[in-house]
Amino acid sequence: MKTNLPLGFLLIIAAGAMVGNCMTPFNSLRRWKWESAWLVFTLVSLVAVPWAVALAVAPNLLGIYAACSAVDLLPSLLFGFGWGIAQVLFGITVANLGMALGFAIVIGLGSTFGTLVPLLVQRPEVLVSGKGALLLAGMLLMLGGTGMCSYAGHLRQRAKAGSVNRGRGDFKRALLLAILCGVMAPMVNFGFAFGDGIVRQASRLGVAPENVGFVVWPAVLAGGLLPNLAYAAHLLTRNRKWGQFLAVWPDLGWSALAGVLWAGATLLYGYASHQLGALGTSAGWALYQILMIMSANLAGLASGEWTGAGKQPQRTLFVGLALLGVATLSMSLANK
């Protein structure tokens, strides 16, 4: 497929902004608890949107999947399932470690593995080239920037509410879960990057080259559907909250909007990665993570989350955002 780097970068920026703000609608929930909103979010983001888009670009979608062998489908489904478990673990990680430390570990590890694994499998020779040096430099800057932003969040929490001490055993268990989540989180990218069998069948059956990525996503996200639905159903049953669905408005709308933002960002990332060319699922993934972090933190500043935190947390945040900006530049140069 013919690449278009400017378009790819613009779409990555849009995708990062969308996913960085996709949970914002949850702040407007009136009656529903998190698990009720998460169930709707899951159905919209993992089923409704990706299938609607895939069917729009490939009306013979079911025929494409029927033509795929198990070897074609299993990588996307299995990696998607692993990512679904990571989604559940992320919620537990944040509850136990807080957003600052949890975000640093999960995004840092997820970005690193999500960038390096497709590169090592698909184009290992790039690592010993000038582009590889720029990519690795960008990754180091990204990890530094992520760490600074997360530390800024820690300082903000401490300034506003004071620190919370945890038992050594609890902390170790929470840390191990965070590391496991960080290792599994980029599996959504692996499912897309290694969906070659589905891409071949879609191309053979007439799907335009620029649209084949949309055919891969329903398979990847279908793998992640079961863990997310099971976790939401477990919480709804345990907390006896199924009755919340008797009053659906406006919380149904806010939950669905969150799902549309997340799924839209994911689909845009997939399209943008093709536009970026051979390094799209490596450098493109890293750029996507960087811009997600930057947009989430800038949105937090704009909404007043940092008001009253003091100057040191905000200065630390600006240093982190600056490092992420330089990382973005390095990744962009690596993709030229």
Q: How far apart are the first and last CA of the chain?
A: 16
- The DSSP output letter for 123 is -
Please check whether residue 21 is in contact with residue 296, taking contact to mean a CB–CB distance below 8 angstroms: yes
- Whole-model pTM? 0.81
- The DSSP output letter for 44 is I
Q: What is the DSSP string of 45-71?
A: IIIIHHHHHHHHH-TTHHHHHHHS-HH
Q: What is the DSSP string of 307-321?
A: TTS-HHHHHHHHHHH
Per-residue pLDDT of the chain (336 residues; tens, 9 = 90+): 567 888 888 999 899 889 888 888 998 999 999 899 999 999 999 999 999 999 999 999 999 999 999 999 999 999 999 999 998 888 787 667 665 566 667 777 777 787 778 778 877 887 778 888 888 888 888 888 888 887 887 787 777 665 444 455 566 787 788 889 888 988 998 999 899 999 999 999 999 988 998 999 999 999 999 999 999 999 999 999 999 999 899 999 999 999 999 999 999 988 888 888 776 777 788 788 888 878 877 777 777 777 777 889 889 988 988 888 888 778 777 766
Q: Is the dihedral of CA 133, 134, 138, 139 positive or negative?
A: negative
Domain-by-domain residue ranges, the chain?
5-334
Distance CA 102, CA 139 (A): 19
Q: Which residues of 228-254 are buried (b: 16+ CB within 10 A; e: fewer)?
A: bbebbeebbeeeebeebeeeeeebbeb
User: Other CB atoms closer than 10 Å to residue 208's CB: what's the count?
Assistant: 12
Q: Is the peptide bond before 6 cis (omega within 30 degrees of 0)?
A: no
